[in-house]
Amino acid sequence: MPELIPVLSKNDINSLVTRTAQRISSDYRHHDLILIGVLKGAFVFLSDLVRCMDVSAQIDFIRAFSYGSGDSSSEDIRLTKGIELDIKNKDVLIVEDIVDTGLTLKYLIDYLKSYHPKSLKICAFIDKHERRKTDVAVDYCCYEAAEGFLVGYGLDYGEDYRYLSGIYRLKL
C-alpha cells in the first residue's frame, strides 16, 4: 500500500487559492477573461479558484494526453479535447493542476496561440521545477514544490486519490 505524506492541508490550500484568486481578480478587472482548465487534474482547482475570484470569467476545458512512460512521460502529447469557446481577442488564462517538465503546457500554449487570443497567461496550482525541460513561465502559481510525486486535490495516481481535499506526496 503506498504511503501518503501530507504536504498541504485543506486550510493551506484555501489560503493559497484565495491569494491567487485575488491577484487574478485585480489584474483582470475590466477584461474579457476566459479560464481554460486542463482536464482532468485541474477540475478541483479551477472550481475553487473561480469561486474565490470577484471578476466575471467564462470557462472552458481542454484535455491533452501524453504517451510514454517514466522520464519520457510527456514527450508524445496529443490533444484529446479542444476548446469550444471563441478566444480570439480575449484574455485567456490556462488553469493547470501541476507543471512538471512543462512540455504539456508548451504544447497547449502553441495550440491556443493559433486561435489568436489577445493575451495568454498561465495559472498553475503547483509549479514543480525538478524535471523542467522547457522555459515556460508560470504567471500565477499557488505553491512551488521541489520534488516528489504529488496526489490529491484533483491530482491522481492511476486515476486514484483525486478526491482527497489535501495534497500528499506519494511514497511507493
Residue number, 43 or 149, with CB nearest to ligand 5GP: 149
Min. distance of Cβ 64 from ligand 5GP in angstroms? 8
Check 48, 97, 100, 127 and give the catalytic one.
100
Vertex 102 angle, CA 47 and 5, to 5°: 65
What does the DSSP 8-state code read for residue 5? Answer: E
Min. distance of Cβ 27 from ligand 5GP in angstroms? 23
Burial classification of residue 88, based on how many CB atoms lie within 10 Å of its CB (0-12 exposed, 13-18 middle, 19 or more buried): exposed
Residue 158 contacts by C-beta under 8 Å, 6 or more apart in sequence? Answer: none
The yes-or-no answer on residue 100 being catalytic is yes
Residue number, 28 or 45, with CB nearest to ligand 5GP: 45
Min. distance of Cβ 29 from ligand 5GP in angstroms? 29
Min. distance of Cβ 134 from ligand 5GP in angstroms? 8
Question: Which stretches of the chain bind ligand 5GP, using CB under 6 A?
Answer: 41, 74, 96-105, 128, 149-151, 155-157
Of 115, 168, 109, 170, nearest in space to 138 by CA: 109
Residue number, 48 or 97, with CB nearest to ligand 5GP: 97
Residue number, 30 or 172, with CB nearest to ligand 5GP: 172
Residue 82 contacts by C-beta under 8 Å, 6 or more apart in sequence? Answer: 62, 111
| Terminal-residue alpha carbon distance, the chain | 8
| Cis peptide leading into residue 40 (ω within 30°) | yes
The residues that are catalytic are 100
